[in-house]
């Protein structure tokens, strides 16, 4: 069994920055796997801060949300 983890690539002001993939159903939209909800979270276009789509209130993202960046836009 493969364990999937959320692709956190850093923190901004203590809030996680998550590396996203482009959505296949919505060009420019973003998605990532949430290890707390055990499902993908889907967002629209544009990087930046988002309110968490978590349904699991014990998620570390639940209170603060997260920043999302498209994989091709991620800088080292």
Token pair for 8: 């956190």
Question: What is the pLDDT, as a whole number, of residue 33?
Answer: 94
Per-domain boundaries in the chain: 8-73
Question: What is the pLDDT, as a whole number, of residue 17?
Answer: 97
The whole-number average pLDDT for the span 27-42 is 93
State how far the Cα of 51 lies from the Cα of 61, in Å rounded to an integer: 8
The whole-number average pLDDT for the span 68-74 is 78
Kindly report the pTM of this predicted structure.
Answer: 0.85
Helix (H) or strand (E) holding 12: strand 8-12
* Segment among 17-21, 40-44, 69-73 with least mean pLDDT: 69-73
State how far the Cα of 29 lies from the Cα of 45, in Å rounded to an integer: 4
The whole-number average pLDDT for the span 38-44 is 93
Cross-strand pairs, 17: 10, 67
């Amino acid at each position: 069994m493969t364990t999937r983890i959320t692709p956190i690539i850093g923190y901004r002001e203590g809030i996680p920055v998550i590396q996203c993939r482009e959505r296949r159903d919505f060009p420019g939209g973003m998605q990532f796997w949430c290890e707390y909800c055990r499902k993908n979270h889907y967002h629209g276009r544009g990087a930046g801060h988002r309110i968490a789509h978590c349904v699991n209130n014990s998620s570390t993202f639940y209170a603060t949300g997260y920043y999302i960046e498209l994989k091709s836009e991620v800088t080292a």
